[in-house]
Structure 1
Amino acid sequence: MLLQLKNFKVSLAFLSVLLLLVLAACGDSEGTAQGEENDQPAESNQSDNDEDATEDPAEEEVAGNDWPEKINMGVIPAEDQTSASDRVNEFAEELATHLGIEVDVFLGTDYNAVIEAMRTENIDIAFFGPFAYVLASERSGAEVFSIGGKSEEEIYYTSAIIVPKDSDAESIADLEGKDFLFVDPASTSGHIFPRAKVIEDLGVTNDEVESVFGSVTFSGSHDASILAIVNGDADGAAIATDVMDAMLDQGVINEGDFKIIASSDPIPRGPDAYRSNLPEDLKEAIREFYYSYENERFFEERGINGFYPVEDSAFDVVRRTAEALGMSPEELLN
């Protein structure tokens, strides 16, 4: 009996050890499985993170987009500052909406102010007179892209020399010794081309032009010169016919208020140009806005029907005229 009990205790002990071994084995298996389950999400998360790092939508959205927070638009004073400001501010606001960035307007006091502002990158886009653009392309890296006109073929205008309606003058020669107005030293139609016309018609040299008239003054804008003639405050003036036509259309002046006694050869209209070092996609967006722009009031005031593409070569006639005068950019601007 004692022997049987002893054997039973040994068997029980053996079974206990065996049970512990089985439980331990099961525990390791479950631990391993649990560990594998814990590791799997970690691998999955890492893979997801890698994909996120590669395909981050925010990064794709700004990739290559180095646009400035705002751009500045410069305006040459071709007409009354107040009315031009109202019109251009409206235009700038619409451009800002199209681009999604702020657009501020810089009203230059003269041609040189806008050219210099672009050279120092204080303005990014500007409306220039034809010769002012030539200077800006040489000095300030201006790149022409748009020109206003009646159509893509009608992008030219002329310079005219006008006198008061009751003037006895019928030609430039009749203005010798009289008071004469140019617009601005760098104005294509308000100085460069009419100056060349004076030289051609009177057979004088460039240095003798001022001595032809009793006095020569720069009015600062085409509309100021036109109004001076209409009001009888000057004997003769050189003006742009597109500004004259716009003032006629608006009823500011009437055809009977003045007389035209001379006209120049066709001149390309004043173009729009931006800094050549602006981001290419920004320049493309600006072009898209101009070419698709529709605002009858704006076009009526500018005397155009729309904006059209234009190449730098269109202004070679302006360069040739300046060369014929033998005038340096510094002389034209001072």
Structure 2
Amino acid sequence: MKRRTFIASAATASLFALVGPAVADKANPDKLRIALLPDENASTIIQNAQPLKLFLEKTLGKPVEIIVTTDYSSMIEAMRFGRIEVGYFGPFSYVLAKSKAPEIEPFAVGVEKGKPNYNSIMIANVDGPVKVLADVKGKPFAFGDQASTSSHLAPRAHLAKNGLIGEKDYKVVHLGKHDAVARAVAAGQIPAGALSEPIYRVLVETNKVDASKLKQIALSDPIPNYPMTVQGYLKPELKDAIKKAFLELKDPEILKLFRVERLAPATDKDYDVLRDMAKILSLDIAKLG
């Protein structure tokens, strides 16, 4: 298996640190490693997560390391092999992780504007050849990571429901991150693409993409929001403390990291809709990630 590199808030931990003490007492580790989804620039995510780190260290009484993996697949593998204790997954990357590591437990989901769900937005360059969704036929279409919900699974399922099948009716192009999709479409490097609508709105509001170069061509069906997950093998008292810390979060600055107004309880069943999307696309979940 290809080794993947991890980007962390401090120097990269040694191999001994990853497989030594953590394994010796993995049910109650001395340090908690919390992974955040690499859907934007890693250094920006880590910087924005410092208030979360300080809050959790104070609340849980343990050192906390914020980790951003290089991609979705490496985060899934990190959870699978016990290299992180808590993971904030995208909806579909959670489903993939759960298929490989059945012991992980989703326990919280973000609520924004009163809803525990969001949409994928499909965008096109205003001066390009794609004016409406049907124009995607015969052209390249940009997605983010293969394991992304709103930048791959949901929009690809939406395209399929509209008679557009990837690699048959249009060329599938993966650019890795949501912001990379928006920038490539705005620059005219690719005529159309898809990403998370909340991320798109933030990119526009912060002038990280030029909204005048982009137009919306479709929205996906509602997608359950990102789940916060915890390793099932942690001692019950520690798991309960972690869950309580996140579910009782009130600080707007910290919640802004997750683009939500609060966190609500979540269960695995909430994500069956993603498994249904995978069936529409004839995707074998066990072979992905």
2:173 is the alignment partner of 1:212:
no
Match of 1:293 in 2: 249
* SS of alignment partner, residue 173 of structure 1: helix
The amino acid of 2:62's aligned partner reads I
Q: Which structure is richer in relative contact order (CA contacts within 8 A, separation 6 or more)?
A: 2
Asked if the contact 1:223–1:244 (Cα under 8 Å) also holds between the matched residues in 2, the reply is yes
Cα distance in 1 for partners of 2:205, 2:241 equals 32
Q: Per-residue displacement from partner, 1:158-207 (whole Å, max 9, x unpaired)?
A: 11211113234232321223232111111111111111112111254xxx
Match of 2:43 in 1: 82
Taking structure 2 as the reference length, what is the TM-score of the superposition? Answer: 0.84
Match of 1:189 in 2: 150
Cα distance in 2 for partners of 1:93, 1:219 equals 33
Shift of 1:108: 1.0
Stretches of structure 1 that go unaligned for 5 or more consecutive residues are 1-65
Cα distance in 1 for partners of 2:47, 2:40 equals 12
Q: Per-residue displacement from partner, 1:266-323 (whole Å, max 9, x unpaired)?
A: 0001111011111111111112211222333343353311211112211111111112
By percentage of residues, which structure has more helix? 1
2:100 is the alignment partner of 1:143:
no
The amino acid of 2:243's aligned partner reads R
Match of 1:225 in 2: 181
Q: Per-residue displacement from partner, 1:100-119 (whole Å, max 9, x unpaired)?
A: 11111221111111111111
Match of 1:54 in 2: none
Q: Per-residue displacement from partner, 1:47-97 (whole Å, max 9, x unpaired)?
A: xxxxxxxxxxxxxxxxxxx62211111122111222111112431232122
Match of 2:206 in 1: 250
Asked if the contact 2:137–2:164 (Cα under 8 Å) also holds between the matched residues in 1, the reply is no
Identity percentage over the alignment? 30
2:134 is the alignment partner of 1:173:
yes
Cα distance in 1 for partners of 2:128, 2:258 equals 29
Larger Rg: 1
Cα distance in 1 for partners of 2:213, 2:219 equals 17
Cα distance in 2 for partners of 1:122, 1:285 equals 20
Match of 1:33 in 2: none
Asked if the contact 1:245–1:303 (Cα under 8 Å) also holds between the matched residues in 2, the reply is no
Match of 1:282 in 2: 238
Match of 2:11 in 1: none
Shift of 1:138: 2.2
Cα RMSD, aligned residues only: 1.9
Equivalences, count: 262
Stretches of structure 2 that go unaligned for 5 or more consecutive residues are 1-26
Match of 1:47 in 2: none
The amino acid of 2:221's aligned partner reads D
Q: Per-residue displacement from partner, 1:241-266 (whole Å, max 9, x unpaired)?
A: 12112323434345434111112110
